[in-house]
Structure 1
Amino acid sequence: MNHSSASRSAPGSLTERRKAVTQLDIARAAAELFTEKGPDGTTAEEIAARAGVALRTFYRYFRSKQDAVAPLLSSGGDRWRALLSDTGPDVPLARALESAAVASLLPSGDVGEQEGLRWTRGLLRAAQEDSALRAVWYRVNMESEKQLLPVVARLAGPEADPLEARLIAAAATDAIRVALESWATMDPNAAESRHPADLVVRCLRQLTGGIELLACQE
């Protein structure tokens, strides 16, 4: 992205919102083409044409064709952190992590959220064979972990050990990553694989047992 021009626009400005819409349009076009032809069979020119933008616009926002799907892959984590941020300090951290994660994944009337989950499944399946796409997925998770840390630290309270807060943020992010990756490999027509919420809960509960143990030791 052109960081100099971005820095001149206030967050939430009309310009920034238009940029976000353009990025998402490009991301959807990339995901559609990856589904149809695979990442290897797709070019940046085709993605730009499908999104209705010039190739120079594509490269203004993204370094590569695989990088173009990052906004779709990060959308679920963004919702999770937003819900977690709204959690009151009186809610135990383990419960807050699980409740926010499940709420961010459960079906809703929002077409965009449903679409995002469908794209995530297809992209994670494609990432098994594409190392560049896999690298984008790992980068998205690293960025999500970094943004999750201050939220976890606030919910853990002022007396919480910073190292423990960092470990929890890392483990919670990885728990959801592993759950989504496992879900993506399942038969999409099987009843138990229609939604990843159950797997996310299972993975988080493996983690939250450790969180509760830490709380008991304080």
Structure 2
Amino acid sequence: MPTAPRPAALPRPSLTERRRAETQLEIARTAAALFTERGAAVTADEIARAAGVALRTFYRYFRTKEDAVVPLLAAGVRQWIDDLAAPAPDADAPSVREALERTARRSLTPADEPAAEALHWTRGLLRAMPGDPALRAVWHRVHHDAEEALVPVLARLTGAPPLEVRLAAAAANTAMRIAVEEWAAGDEAPDDGPEGPAALVARCMRALTAGLPQLEREAEAGPA
């Protein structure tokens, strides 16, 4: 069976781009902490001062105070999609459905302290969102962008027609979003176990993709 061509490797970001991304992420962590603590009352000036940057620098990176949390919220989603897009490591490749579940679980299972901290701040932000519609709009925009990013990855993995690919991307992205929201809403929500985010996303993924036969195709295997 002929295989679809693999996408060309993306060029490595320059040192300036990497420093910019690190600064944005540091501001995002600071903003998340302040939103978690104070909700909508926090100001852009307070975020900038707490992050150790000038307000002018803050606005060079972000249009609004709510936009400041986008790098933090998007990091986990980007990791999931990059993981899904990578070829399977062996010839015994899982189905696309299994690959979606495995990679989603990995993205919600912190591998180190920074990842655990990011998940912690995401929970705090989600709990602050009912009182801040602009913050909730940012959350939904991040997931809209994630769904768009999933489409070409699933198109390559499944070879399905555009409508079926969009349905699969919508189902997978919604499973991720609902799992994180449900976990964040729970009192004393654990980071692992049957009520942790990784277990919840597996349940959501199975429920929402059960009627999508296009996901039964085997995921692409990597070189032996």
Cα distance in 2 for residues equivalent to 1:71 and 1:36:
19
Q: Which residue of 1 aligns with 2:151?
A: 149
CA contact (8 A) 2:180 2:201 kept: yes
Identity %: 55
How far did 1:47 drift?
0.5
TM-score of the pair, normalised by structure 1: 0.86
- Give 2:172's aligned amino acid: A
How far did 1:106 drift?
1.4
Q: SS of the residue aligned with 2:210?
A: helix
Task: Say how many residue pairs are matched.
Answer: 203
Alignment of 1:174 onto 2:177: no
Q: Which residue of 2 aligns with 1:123?
A: 125
Q: Which residue of 2 aligns with 1:136?
A: 138
CA contact (8 A) 1:188 1:194 kept: no
- Give 2:62's aligned amino acid: F
How far did 1:37 drift?
1.6
How far did 1:163 drift?
1.0
- Give 1:121's aligned amino acid: R
Cα distance in 2 for residues equivalent to 1:93 and 1:207:
14
Cα distance in 2 for residues equivalent to 1:72 and 1:195:
20
How far did 1:214 drift?
7.3
Structure with the largest fraction of helix: 1
Alignment of 1:202 onto 2:186: no
Alignment of 1:100 onto 2:69: no
- Give 1:195's aligned amino acid: G
Q: Residues 28-107 of structure 1: matches in 2 within 5 Å?
A: 28-38=29-39, 40-88=40-88, 90-107=93-110
Q: Which residue of 2 aligns with 1:185?
A: 185
Higher relative contact order (Cα pairs below 8 Å, separated by 6+ residues) = 2
**Structure 2 residues not aligned, in runs of 5+:** 1-10, 218-224
CA contact (8 A) 2:95 2:216 kept: no
CA contact (8 A) 1:145 1:169 kept: yes
How far did 1:213 drift?
7.5
CA contact (8 A) 2:84 2:100 kept: yes
* 1:27-60 deviation line (CA, Å, top 9, x unaligned): 011111112222x221101100111111011001
Q: Which residue of 1 aligns with 2:113?
A: 111
Cα distance in 1 for residues equivalent to 2:214 and 2:82:
26
Q: SS of the residue aligned with 1:59?
A: helix
Cα distance in 1 for residues equivalent to 2:115 and 2:103:
15
Cα distance in 1 for residues equivalent to 2:208 and 2:189:
29
Change (3 A) 1:193 1:25: farther
- Give 2:53's aligned amino acid: V
**Structure 1 residues not aligned, in runs of 5+:** 1-9
Q: SS of the residue aligned with 1:91?
A: coil
- Give 1:137's aligned amino acid: W
**RMSD (CA atoms):** 2.1
Change (3 A) 1:107 1:174: same
TM-score of the pair, normalised by structure 2: 0.84
Q: SS of the residue aligned with 1:210?
A: coil
